[in-house]
Amino acid sequence: MAHTLPETGQCRVIIERVEPQVNSGRFPVKRTVGERVAVEADVFTDGHDRIYCVLLYRREHQSEWHKTPMKPVGNDCWQGAFSVHDVGRYYYTVTACVDHFASWSGDLKRRTDPGDIEIALLAGAELIDAAASRAQSSDANRLRFFGKALRSDDDWRVRFDTAFDSELAQLMSRYTDPNLAAVYDRELTVVVDPVLARFGAWYEVFPRSCSTEYGRHGTFADCEARLPYIAAMGFDVLYLPPIHPIGNTKRKGPNNTLVAGEHDPGSPWAIGSAEGGHLSIHPELGTLKEFHSLIARAREYKLEIAMDIAFQCSPDHPYVKEHPEWFRHRPDGSVQFAENPPKKYEDIYPFDFESTGWQRLWTELEGVFRFWIKQGIRIFRVDNPHTKSFYFWEWTINSIKRDHPETIFLAEAFTRPKVLHYLAKLGFSQSYNYFPWRNTKYEIVQYLTQLSKGREREYLRPSLWPNTPDILTEYLQYGGRPAFMIRLALAATLGASYGIYGPAFELFENKPREPGSEEYLDSEKYQIRHWDLQQRDSLKDYIARINRIRRENPALQFDHMLQFHAVDNESLICYSKNTEDLDNIILVLVNLDPHHTQSGWLDIPLDIFGLDADHSYQVHDLLSNARFIWNGPRNYVELDPRIVPAHIFRLRRRVRSERDFDYYM
Binding site residue list for alpha-maltose 1-phosphate: 252, 312, 347, 384, 525-526
DSSP run (H or E) holding 541? helix 540-552
Catalytic site includes residue 412: yes
Mapping DSSP to helix (H, G, I), strand (E, B) and coil, where does residue 189 land?
Answer: strand
Nearest to 463 by CA among 242, 648, 201: 201
Single out the catalytic residue among 222, 316, 383, 509. 383
383 is catalytic: yes
Note the helical H segments in 233-353. Answer: 288-300, 318-322
52-87: burial string, b at 16+ Cβ within 10 Å, e else: bbbbbbbeeeeeeeeeeebeeeeeeebebebebeeb
In angstroms, the Cα distances linking 592 to 483, 485, 498, 645 are 8, 10, 18, 8
Please answer whether residues 555 and 577 qualify as being in contact, where contact means their C-beta atoms are separated by less than 8 angstroms. Answer: yes
Task: Exactly one of 236, 412, 506, 559 is catalytic; name it.
Answer: 412
Q: Which of 54, 359, 363 is nearest to 181 (CA)?
A: 54
What one-character DSSP code corresponds to residue 246? B
Which DSSP letter does residue 77 get? Answer: E
Which positions make up the binding site? Answer: 252, 312, 347, 384, 525-526
Q: Quick count: other Cβ atoms within 10 Å of Cβ 461? A: 25
- Phi-psi category of 558—alpha, beta or left, where left has phi over 0 and alpha has psi -120 to 50? beta
298 vs 288: CA distance, rounded Å: 15
Query: Contact at 8 Å (CB) between 382 and 309?
Result: yes
CA distance 507 to 365: 37
Report d(CA 94, CA 14) in Å as an integer. Answer: 11
Q: Both ends of the chain: CA-CA distance in Å?
A: 91
Query: Do the Cβ atoms of 89 and 28 come closer than 8 Å?
Result: yes
Q: How far apart are CA 442 and CA 440, in angstroms?
A: 5
What is the rounded distance in angstroms from the CA atom of residue 207 to the CA atom of residue 392?
30
CA distances from 561 to 340, 364, 445, 558, 636 (A): 41, 42, 14, 7, 24
| Catalytic (active-site) positions | 383, 412
